[in-house]
Amino acid sequence: MTNNVKKVAILTAGGLAPCLSSAIAALIERYTEVAPEVEIICYVGGYKGLLEGKSITVTPEMRKNIAVLYKHGGSPIGNSRVKLTNIKDCVKRGLVQEGQDPQKVAADQLVKDGVDVLHTIGGDDTNTAAADLAAFLKTNNYALTVVGLPKTIDNDVYPIRQSLGAWTAAEEGAKYFANVVGEHNANPRMLIVHEVMGRNCGYLTAATAAEYRKLLDKMEFVPGMGLSRERKEIHAVYIPELAFDVVKEAERLRKIMDEVDNVNIFVSEGAGVETIMKEMEARGEEIPRDAFGHAKLDAINPGAWFAKQFAKMLGAEKTLVQKSGYYSRAAASNPADKELIIKCADKAVDCAMQGIGGVIGEDENKNNELRACEFERIKGGKPFDTDQAWFNDLLAAIGQPKGEKVEVKH
């Protein structure tokens, strides 16, 4: 390990995930362990803070208490959705002046701050932005290493086997629904739709459903007075990667409604989005989009659309749509995620000290070796593998036909 690194910077960006606070702590702990002389700063508000030159210096007192971050969710240094290659948006936000290149502004700020290594913690948008910045730095002879950590509860980053925070998000989403499902006995013929985050990938919806059923396995019931597993069971799981016949599914679920007086559906927020957007455009409505060009799913509201489709066909008297995303993504890391985060952070620091850039993760194309995956290989939108045994066991357990695979548009 070489030791020519004098100053490093950390930033978090994109949406929240249950790993950001822990990843910051793990990076700072590792540097303190192997190179305590290295100065550390944190840019406030992700790439926005980098463009504005706003940063926090990590003091000895902060290092001493940094383990406290493991107990918290969110990001203490703040996030933002800023894309450095979206010049128009950066100008509109007042982050750069007309005629300026945000990448050059960012690079110049890093040089001004004396940064040798930039650690980015974020999802595919954050790390593709980091990739663009790394390429710009290399092309323009800036001597700086960029090392990313893969954060996304969607778990959809190529070629990373497991993204940080996804395990915790599934576990927390299951806990959330364990309370929500209690609403089934507040009204007769109740339809409950649990909308789970996941734009193009159904991993989190499937994993949350699997975690919830683990909770069910531990519960005790009194069927004779209505407290039965059947009423708290998941009755359908809909994800972007699998098509389903609405009419046939309605027939199946109607039988369940008639028998147990309620139906519980898990749906990925990305399922059915193309259909919903076509309906909106046909009505002359504009599709709201973010700086990265993604449709804003909270405006499209897939959960409400699914509820509307099924409520009439199932003869539901009451429909409830609940979203666990903001609850689950702001949680503190669970033990499994914390272990993975620390392992990845240790590798990130080791690579940084050797001048090796990339995104740290278990590389699916290299026998799941933990390494710095080359930036040019990093991209989002990796579909959930619906052939995995645990997922097929889940569908079989709830009596749902698997459906045909579909190609998800990104």
Q: What is the per-residue pLDDT across 113-172, written as a single tens digit (0 to 9) for each?
A: 999 999 999 887 787 788 788 888 888 888 889 999 999 999 999 999 999 999 999 999
Tokens 């576990």 -> residue: 171
Mean pLDDT of the chain: 91
Q: Is the peptide bond before 159 cis (omega within 30 degrees of 0)?
A: yes
149 contacts 347 by C-beta, under 8 angstroms: no
Span 23-36, average pLDDT: 98
Query: Annotated catalytic, 350?
Result: no
pLDDT digits (tens, 9 = 90+) for 56-104: 999 999 999 999 999 999 999 999 988 888 999 999 999 999 999 999 9
Catalytic residue among 89, 116, 124, 154: 154
Tokens 């002046």 -> residue: 97
33 contacts 67 by C-beta, under 8 angstroms: no
CA distance linking residue 54 with residue 198, whole number of Å = 31
CA distance linking residue 243 with residue 247, whole number of Å = 12
From residue 346, give the alpha-carbon distance in Å to each of 82, 100, 147: 27, 36, 12
Ramachandran angles phi, psi of 119, nearest 5°: -100, 120
pTM: 0.91
